[in-house]
Structure 1
Amino acid sequence: MTILPASTWASLSHAHEKRAASLTAEHRARKAARERHAIDDFLYDYYGTRPSVLRRWHPGVGIALEPGPNGSAPHQQWRWYATDADGVVSFNAAAFLADRVDSVRFIHRLLSAIASRPAFTGCFGLHEWAMVYRQREHRHPLPLRLGQEGTDAVVESHQIRCTHFDAFRFFTPDAVSLNRLRPTRKSQAELDQPGCLHASMDCHKWATKLGPAVPGELALDCFELAKDIRLLDMQASPYDLSSYGQPAVAIETPEGKAEYVARQRAFSQRAGHLRARLINVCAALLEGVEPPSRVGV
């Protein structure tokens, strides 16, 4: 166990809170004004992200916090922390595992499986197109760049190979049969792969589920990656984002495909580094734990 002096962890906590506030500032301002945002709201609505939770700095597994002039670290009042007789506060891995061991095992298995595979970069973000295929009502109140007929024509002229269940489950009924795969929640660990934008965005999801076991810097790195990927996800979608001042990545053209793949590969590399760190967090938590009798989240 590494014990951080009070001056060190206080500085880290302050820097973390400042960074988290900056990353969520625009969302918080829009929420106060009751304004919606078709790009960024996904991070908060779909993932259930709460700015107040992001602002909380956690030292992570194996790091303890020395008491300062004003007493023990505020973490002593937080769930899954323990305080010893000297006032040193640390994350209580045993207590966390008592509540979340099955989730940790699932996350470890899933992330390890994704990390073991090569990245597939031939999907071109067509999952978003399949979500509006032959539909007159859409998820976002934005016009389609090519209109409905043009959008449908793009879907019909491409092979769709979506590996991610949480994207596939939003396909329109007419688009389901066009996908070469049939992802399910049960097959997620067998199909998720590192080139998928949604699998990379999900690093934020898994960091959130691992909660205080994840060091603050890693948690914000995962959130920032998801934020960056979400922009490409929508730029490459059939929606017209000109009202947000965002240019399209026209994946129906050779130039658009090339741009998409280049950015996709860069995101895959970023996600790979973060995924490896999350795997290490899971491994540290599960060290010495008996093999699972069941797996799930």
Structure 2
Amino acid sequence: MTRSTGWTTLVTPDALAAALGDPMLVVLDARFSLADPAAGEAAWRQARIPGARYVHLDRDLSGAHAPGAGRHPWPQAADFGRMLAARGITPAHQVVVYDAADGAFAARAWCLLRLAGHADAAVLDGGFEGWRSLGLPLDDAAPVPEAAAVAPYPADFERARLFDAVRVRGHLAQGGLLLDARAGERFRGDVEPIDARAGHVPAAVSRPYACNLADGRFKPADVLAGEFGPLLGEAGAPGAVVMCGSGVTACHHLLAMAHAGLEGAGLYTGSWSGWIEDPARPVSTGPD
């Protein structure tokens, strides 16, 4: 078996199309809708990139709830490893993940893989809609049974980059940067369509994850480096922690930074939904 890809952040539709059929390539479909959690899997059953195996945000890319863990808790490493094995994934495979379009859900799967030590994981730039718009192959037959399970994947998360509320408060107290990936109106507290309280963690800085995109694709690496650089300052990516509503779209920032060569930022896994589980924690509204 051969593999000649080595993609670690993003992959173009044409490059992925050329690699289809490689036995060391696994494609994961991570389409999902917060409004209708069954919609992504239904869409996968209707049509998918050939060979794609489905991963569900709630079942496969999140863990069981725990206090402070938020709406999409980070899974246990052993559970995540079993899920990878059930998809036929070993440490030797190249994994490519896609969602409907903007990469928000695919980035969650990418982040889990990368922090579990799987370097050769990438997101399809432009997602399923970008693929379809180019007229690339689709499979609309009934999905075949999952690939035969392989040996349990030896997942072991890079815990130093996973932050809870206590570590976030300590990080901020030391002058660290906390980047919030939610839309500006949610950060400011103008609206809150999902969580019980509106606003943001005091001292957090707003950068909506949509800022990483242009015309449905990730901005070029040099452009992203130029945008993140002033935010990160002298401490660089290792001095930053990213968050969002539940630890999902924050992964988009980690992917964008990695694409720009800026590695090492942390993730507040519980994010806003975890922060507000404790009513004693302070909340800010407005632009800062």
Q: TM-score, normalised by structure 1?
A: 0.24
Q: TM-score, normalised by structure 2?
A: 0.25
> Quick check: which one's helix share is greater?
1
